[in-house]
Amino acid sequence: MAEYMDRCIDRLVERDLGIFGAVLIQGPKWCGKTTTSQRFAASSLSLSNPAGGFAALQLARLDPAQAIVGPTPRLIDEWQEEPKIWDAVRFECDRRMGEPGQFLLTGSATPNDASRPMHSGVGRVSRLRMDTMTLLELGISSGSVSLGALLAEKPTGVALGSIEGIPAIADLVCRGGWPQAVGKSTEDAMRISSAYVDGVCESDVSKVDGVRRDPVKVRSLLSSLSRNESTLAGTKALERDMGGEVSRNSILRYLDALCRINIIDNIPAWHPALRSPVKLRQSAKRHLADPSLAVAALGASPDSLASDPKTLGLLFESLVLHDLKVYATVNDALVSHYHDIDDLEVDAVIHKRDGSWIAVEVKLGSPQVPEASENLNRLERKMVDRGEKAPAAKLIVIGYGMPAHVTSDGIVIAPVDTLGV
């Protein structure tokens, strides 16, 4: 059995099991939810286990209260296969007078409205998002540049990255962060992503609510989303990109289904509370759950991406934002993007409830650093002029070309393989 690789979410699961009656871990299939949950569980029941003619699932349907009986924390894996489990867990948390650490639930999809549980679980169930593995979790990043330290305005030292050039970045994007791909060749890792996309198109996107969706159209939409990765492309743009073969209403329904199976991970627009408001663009940026899915949907390869810097740049931004979201979550922070009507655009803003924030630009290489620096400085001036506190840090994440350091105007430059919690 392979040795467990520590995940950033581990500390959040441990924390919330000490606070809430139940902890729900949501995320895309194959990202490691079950493996991580089993490290904390004293007993488990998998509703996707086919043993005994899906005996576990049958028990959950016939007697959900009995299905959740067992040593605690009791893990119910893929709970959405029988949504009545949720209400049974919620009721049992109440019956046990709020005793923490009773249940762990994992889910790869959200039930539709018709089968959604009666109760939200507020106050009883903590909800955590788990993603595919970051470069830190994969052992590729040194973690020398700590997001938590930047938010706390602590100094950043010099650190060397190990990525050498465009081909190495293309390889990272193509491999993705699937636990199953650890130790495998890039070619085999890409087969995992391709199999994932095939499963989404042929089965998962229809299974989520029992509505049959055309696999060809699903694949076409995934390809369009991949071409527009890290952009503000809306449904009209997607419709045009798909040549009008799928109506706008159908695209919206397909997007909803893809969100419910955690394939799309939206980055919302930042809305700071300012004395003098700025008119902001409201659209979210759509990202696929792992950049390797976009590679698979596009039929790309390390060689093709290495010769297509525009596409590689968008997918590299997706990889960076994927990792930053994981690191931000550990620090109780959120990730948004900024784009105003003056066309000032900043790739990411990492912000906390106390008002502290970090402005982030993502660039493939060091030649793009001056442009990114100007964007960050413009945003700082605009926010401060309108009553927002100055950022805790201004950060430029690059793929390669220079070590992590702080510039003369206070901007942190960090190779992606130096980022950490």
CA distances to 110, 147, 361 from 212, rounded to whole Å, are 17, 43, 40
Percent residues over pLDDT 70 in the chain: 97
CA distances to 240, 241, 283, 285 from 246, rounded to whole Å, are 9, 10, 21, 21
| Over residues 188-205, mean pLDDT | 97
Residue 401 in this model has a pLDDT that exceeds 70: yes
299-334: pLDDT as tens digits: 999 999 999 999 999 999 999 999 999 999 999 999
Q: What is the pLDDT of residue 273?
A: 75
Q: What is the pLDDT of residue 116?
A: 57
Q: What is the pLDDT of residue 69?
A: 98
Q: Which CATH architecture has domain 10-129?
A: 3-Layer(aba) Sandwich (3.40)
Mark residue 116 as left, alpha or beta (left: phi above 0; alpha: psi -120 to 50; beta: remaining). beta
Residue 353 in this model has a pLDDT that exceeds 70: yes
CB 324, CB 335: distance < 8 Å: yes
Q: What is the pLDDT of residue 262?
A: 96
Q: What is the pLDDT of residue 151?
A: 97
| Over residues 280-289, mean pLDDT | 88
What is the residue-averaged pLDDT of the chain?
94
Q: Which of 163, 254, 192, 174 is nearest to 217 (CA)?
A: 254
Residue 359 in this model has a pLDDT that exceeds 60: yes
Supply the Cα-derived Rg of the chain in whole angstroms.
22
Report the C-alpha gap between 400 and 416 in whole angstroms. Answer: 8
Structure tokens at 345: 């655009």
Half-sphere exposure of 333 (CA within 13 A, CB side): 29
Q: What is the pLDDT of residue 115?
A: 56
Contacts of 256 (CB under 8 A, 6+ apart): none
| Over residues 146-164, mean pLDDT | 92
| Over residues 192-204, mean pLDDT | 97
7-56: pLDDT as tens digits: 999 999 999 999 999 999 999 999 999 999 999 999 999 999 999 999 99
Report the C-alpha gap between 191 and 87 in whole angstroms. Answer: 38
Q: What is the pLDDT of residue 270?
A: 94
Confidence of residue 107 (pLDDT cuts 50, 70, 90): very high
Ranking 116-125, 149-158, 277-286, 352-361 by mean pLDDT, the lowest is: 116-125
Residue 372 in this model has a pLDDT that exceeds 90: yes
Q: What is the pLDDT of residue 209?
A: 87
pTM of the model: 0.94
Residue 416 in this model has a pLDDT that exceeds 90: yes
For residue 184, how many other CB atoms are within 10 A of its CB?
A: 14
Helix (H) or strand (E) holding 231: none
Confidence of residue 276 (pLDDT cuts 50, 70, 90): low
Domain boundaries, the chain: 10-129, 145-420
Confidence of residue 274 (pLDDT cuts 50, 70, 90): low
| Over residues 349-358, mean pLDDT | 96
Q: What is the pLDDT of residue 117?
A: 60
Residue 101 in this model has a pLDDT that exceeds 80: yes
DSSP states along 373-399? HHHHHHHHHHHHHTTPPPPSEEEEEEE
180-192: pLDDT as tens digits: 999 999 999 999 9
Residue 119 in this model has a pLDDT that exceeds 70: no
214-258: pLDDT as tens digits: 999 999 999 999 999 998 899 999 999 998 888 999 999 999 999
Stronger pLDDT, 274 or 265, i.e. the higher one: 265
| Over residues 344-368, mean pLDDT | 96
For residue 337, how many other CB atoms are within 10 A of its CB?
A: 22
Q: What is the pLDDT of residue 1?
A: 62
Structure tokens at 269: 């627009």
